[in-house]
Structure formats: structure tokens, C-alpha cells
Structure 1
């Protein structure tokens, strides 16, 4: 794929993650090939680090650092030899930003996970945000902000094979084990759970097997994967994250929710984009239909992760989690 085609394919994902669309165009217009993507995005991240150093206030510095974290993370979306270093820089920039902007934010790490717990200590509920195949906690800051604005606490995480942990761990299908350890570490009785892209599978599987999930939502999550039909770029990413082609093929075979969906007791919202058509990926309509308390929201013009249609689903999703999680934790019917 040529650089302009790759940049166009990543457009709504990048702008949905919060980078300025005009700057995105300036950066990507100068790419000679896809191989230039990672270095160009890292340079842009470093420019924001310099802005943070020269900022006139902690607030401005923190805002620049959040933007740097986004650019460093997006650098990893194309094949890049220094992807591990870029992910580490994204992680450091996010840490510095939260230290500047939210002194009460807390880093929480354990076996197979790391992330940041944000929000009031007396929040009526806590939501765990799960990333996908090549996403990370730095990509979904807008979703986190929307949940925080509703008074919830939020733990945005990287799990095995994701974000800053991708350099030292590999994807695993039994993500419910990881989320179980997260819940233990957070010290809460129950959680809300939202998963994005492959994270939607992780969230749905976890909510079927982990009884402490009180409300769940998925965005562009697969109901089932067919390895042989997946596009080569997706298979390549999965192979890198799973530890090789054989491991990736075995992982994809286990991404199947037909047997687990009827076991999801929590209220479930499944969000799909009508323009999200990836060969080998079955979208989430069947998941919502088979889950006892499933609801399906399809946005006809939405693409993968629906970065081009955020007003059509983001308020609905955050209200779903807030309402059901808060009511459940208070002991009222959900």
C-alpha cells in the first residue's frame, strides 16, 4: 500500500484518537512511503515534548504531553522497527501528562496489565477500558474523558501484547484472567467494561466468564474471526502481537463468541459501523442477539472504531455504562 492510501485508511482512527486533522494532513502529506510513517509520527511527538518543556503553565504542558502520547502511539500503526520505543514514549508522555494535570491519577500494574486509574475516589462506579489488536490506552483518551465527565472512575489499560506491554508479552485469548487481576488490584466489587476493536471480543468474553462485570459495551468488536479470510495486513499485525504466524492462527481460531454470548448476564451494548467491512471478521449483531440483555446499535456511515461518527454512539455508550453500572452498584435493578 502506498503512503497516501495508508494515511487515508487511518484518517478517522487518528482523528478519532484526538490528533488535529490539519496537522495529520501536514504530517502524512510529506510521507514518501509507509516506511516513513513511524519516524514522522515520532518526530511530531517529540515536537510536542518540546512544547511541553517550554509551556507557560502545568496545564499547557500537560495538554502538550497528552498530544505527544497520541502521536507516539499512532507511530506504531505502520510496520516500524522502533515500535517498542515509540510505545514506551507514548506511555511516558501519558504518565507525565497525568502527573501534571491529575495528581490524584494512580498507576496500577500487575501480571499482564498496566494502566492509569482516574476519577474521584468516591465515584459511584469504575469502568475498565480495553484496547484491541494494535491499539493502546493512549488511543482512547476521548472515551475516558466522556466517562470521567459522567462522574465515573476509569481504568484505561494495556494488556498482554498491547501498548507498552507489546514488546515483552503476547496476545492471549483468556483475557478474563487479566481483567480479574485488574479488578482485584483496583479493590472494587464490580466494574463496567468497554472493549474496542479486538478489545470488544476481550470484553464480551470477560463479561461471560467474570461475574464481577456489571455492565459492558463493545465497539467494532469481532463476533468471530476466520484466519484464512483475514487481509494480509491484519494477519501480519496479529502475528507480530501473538508471537508468530502459528500462534496468531491459533489465537484467531479462538475468537468465537457463539457459545459464550448466552452467558453474558450483564446489560450489553454492541456498537458497529455499517461501513466496517473487514474480510474474515464477523461483526457484533449476533453477539447482541444471543446475549440475554444485549442491545445493538449500528451506525450506517460508521467505519471501524467509528471515529467518523462519534456523536452517533459515544454519548449513548457512556450513558449505557453510567446508568447500568451506577444502578447495579447501588443495588437497584439494572
Structure 2
């Protein structure tokens, strides 16, 4: 794939993650091959680190650090020998940003997970943001902000094979065990989950099998995957994150919510983008239909992760989780 084609394919994902679209065009416009992607995005992130160091206020420094975290994470989206370093840089920049901007934010880590708990200590509910195949906690800062604005506490996490943990762990299908450990570590009685892309499957599976999940939303999440139907780039990413092609094929076979959907007792909102081109993640309707309290939202012009249609789904997702966790009417 040409660098220009790859950049175009990642456009709404990157801008949906919060990078400036004009800066994105400047950075990607100079790429001559996809191999240049990682180094170019690392340079962009480091430029924001330098801006943070010379910023005239702590707020400006924190904002530049958040932007750096986004760029460092996006550096991992293309095959790159130093992707693990980029993920570590993203993790470090996010931690430094929150230390400056939100002194009350708390790093919480345990077996198979790490992340940041943000929001008021007396929040009426807590939401866990679950990333997907090659996403990470740094990609969904906008989702976190929408939930924080509604008074909730939010734990944005990396799990096995994700984000900063990808260097030393692999994807696990039984993500409900990870969610259970997260709930234990947060010390709350129940949580809401929002899962994005493959994280939607993780979240739905956890909602079916972990009784402390009291609300759930999925965004571009698969109902079922067929390995042979997945595009080669997706298979390649899954192989890297799962520990090899055989492990990835076995993992993909596990992605099937047919028997688990009826066991999701919590209120569920399923969001699909009608222009999503990844096989398996445009079939959320059966999940919403089979779940006892499922609701389906299809955004016809939305692509994968719906970075091109945020006003059409993010407020609904945030309201859904807020109403369910606070027992307020929709």
C-alpha cells in the first residue's frame, strides 16, 4: 500500500483520536512509504514534548503532553521496529500530562492491565474504556472526556497485547477475567464498559460473564469474526498481537457472541458505522437483538470507529452509560 493510501485510510481514526487535521496532513504529506510512518509520527510527538518543556503555563504543557501521547500512539499503527518504544512514549506522555492537569488522577495496574482512573472520588458511577486490536488508552481521550463531563469516573486501560503492555503480553480471549481484576482494583461495586473495535467484543463478552458490569456500549465491535474473511492487514496485526498466525487464527475463532449475547443482562448500546469496511464489525444488529436489553444505533455515514461521525454517537454512548449507572431515566 502506498503511504498516501495508508494515510487516507487512517485519516478519520487519527483525527477522531484528537490530532489536529492540518498537522496530520503536514506529517503524512511528506511520507514516501509506509515504513516512514512510525519515525515521522515519533518526531511529531517529540516536537510536542519540546513545546511542553518551553510552555508558558502548566495547562499549556499538559495539553502538549496529551497531544504528544496521541502522536506516539498513532506511530504504532503501521509496522515499525520501534513500535514498543512509541507505545512506551505514549504511556509516559499521558502520565506526565495527567500529573500536571489532573493531580487527582491515579495510576492503577494489576495482572494483565494498567491505566489511569480519572474523575471525582465520589462519582455516581465508573466506566472502564476498553481498547481494541491495535488501539490503546491514549487513542480514546475524547471518549473519556465525554464521560468525565457527565460526572462519571473513568478508567482508561490497556489490557494484554494492548498499548504499553503489547511488548510483553499477547491478546487473551477471556477478557472478562481482566475486567474482573480491574473492578477489584478500582474498589467499586459495579462498572460500565465501553469497548471500541475489538474492544467491543471484549466488553460484550465481559458483560455476559462478569456480573458486576452494570452497563455496556460497543462501538464498531465484532459480533463474529471469520479468519478467512479478514483483510490481510488485519490478520497481520492480529498475528503480531496474539503471538503468531496460528494463535491469531485460534483467537479469531473465539470471537463469536451468538451464545453469549442472551446472557448480557445489563443495558447495552451497540453502535455500528454503515461505511465500516472491516468484515465482522458491521454486524452489531444481532448482538443488540439477542441481548435482553439491547439497543442498536447504526450511523450510515460512519466508518470504522466512526471518527468521521462523532456527534452522531458519542453523546448517545455517554448518556446511555450515565443513565444506566446513575439510575436516571433516558
Give a deviation string over 1:298-326, Cα, whole Å, max 9, x none: 00000000000000000011000000111
**1:243: which partner in 2?**
243
**2:16: which partner in 1?**
16
**2:276: which partner in 1?**
276
- Kept in 1, the 8 Å contact 2:217–2:270? The answer is yes
- TM-score, normalising length: structure 2: 0.99
4+ long deviations beyond 6 Å: none
Distance between the aligned counterparts of 1:198 and 1:204, measured in 2? 10
User: What RMSD in Å do the two structures reach over aligned CA positions?
Assistant: 1.0
**1:91: which partner in 2?**
91
Distance between the aligned counterparts of 2:205 and 2:140, measured in 1? 21
Paired residues for 1:1-334 under 5 Å: 1-281=1-281, 283-327=283-327
Task: Give the SS at the match of 1:4.
Answer: helix
Task: Give the SS at the match of 2:114.
Answer: strand
Task: Give the SS at the match of 1:56.
Answer: coil
- Deviation of 1:281 (Å): 4.6
- Deviation of 1:236 (Å): 0.2
- Kept in 1, the 8 Å contact 2:131–2:137? The answer is yes
Gap runs ≥5 in structure 2: none
- Deviation of 1:278 (Å): 1.6
Distance between the aligned counterparts of 1:281 and 1:190, measured in 2? 27
Distance between the aligned counterparts of 2:281 and 2:201, measured in 1? 11
- Kept in 2, the 8 Å contact 1:228–1:280? The answer is no
- Deviation of 1:280 (Å): 5.0
- Kept in 2, the 8 Å contact 1:123–1:152? The answer is yes
Give a deviation string over 1:218-255, Cα, whole Å, max 9, x none: 00000000001111000000000000000000000000
Distance between the aligned counterparts of 1:74 and 1:205, measured in 2? 27
- TM-score, normalising length: structure 1: 0.98
Distance between the aligned counterparts of 1:182 and 1:240, measured in 2? 25
Distance between the aligned counterparts of 2:316 and 2:329, measured in 1? 19
Gap runs ≥5 in structure 1: none
Distance between the aligned counterparts of 2:281 and 2:17, measured in 1? 23
Task: Give the SS at the match of 1:224.
Answer: coil
- Kept in 2, the 8 Å contact 1:179–1:206? The answer is yes
Give a deviation string over 1:186-216, Cα, whole Å, max 9, x none: 0000001000000000000000000000100
